[in-house]
Amino acid sequence: MNIADLRKSYEKAELNENASHADPLQQFAQWLQEAIAAEVPEPNAMTLATVASNLRPSTRVVLIKGYDERGIVWYTNYDSRKGQELAGNPFAALQFHWVELERVVRIEGRVEKVSDKESDAYFHSRPLDSRIGAWASPQSQVIDGRTVLVTNAAKYAAQFMLNPPRPPHWGGYRLVPDNWQFWQGRKSRLHDRLRYTQEGSGWLRERLAP
């Protein structure tokens, strides 16, 4: 099959100004809960885009771990490539793609670290293997092979037993949104696309051409 011939007609739902929330966080919460209820694969997975000091962008998939009026939260290794890029350029973009619902949410804004208290609380809620893994993996660094990870995991498991502390290089980030876009696939490529941008203490909601 010629890849250029792959096509899909989007016909599951619609998104209009009258039926959408005036607050983008409420719209996001509704769509996320609908994705969870629909049992789509990993509804909490989101693509995170950052830009390095040399202006080269990079993306990776991370998992949302919380959201409220302050922003969208995920956790990772601060020494990773994304951590280094955010240290130099604290702006990022997130994207959720719920394929089965024919929906995309794009979020842009400034990124900040969450408090140590928040990072500690989430770290200690993780399974033991995940907590050991945070110590064992020198994320984004070149290693000689998988044996390095297995050896590190065994070393830190023996050192910390059942109570590994949160590594100083591991914690949470929060993206504080100033731009949201909600995309709903529609027939004939005439998709619905709503953008929310900050306007004073509220949000300006506009329809964009698809």
Alpha carbons within 13 angstroms on the beta-carbon side of residue 93 total: 12
Query: In the chain, at which residue ranges do the beta strands (DSSP E only) sit?
Result: 45-51, 57-63, 66-68, 71-77, 91-98, 103-113, 170-184, 192-199, 202-207
Longest Cα–Cα distance of the chain, Å, equals 60
Helices (H), 12-170: 24-37, 81-88, 116-123, 128-136, 146-160
Q: For residues 29 and 46, what is the distance between their CA atoms, to the nearest angstrom?
A: 14
Of 103, 189, 193, 195, the active-site residue reads 189
Q: What tokens does 173 get?
A: 């980030």
| Angle separating helix axes 128-136 and 146-160, nearest 10 degrees | 120
CB neighbour list of residue 31: distance below 8 Å, 6 or more residues apart: 96, 98, 101, 103, 105, 182
Backbone angles phi, psi at 144, to 5 degrees: -75, -25
Q: Any catalytic annotation for residue 189?
A: yes
Asked if residue 13 lies in contact with residue 101, where contact means CB atoms within 8 angstroms, the answer is yes
Q: Which residues are catalytic?
A: 189
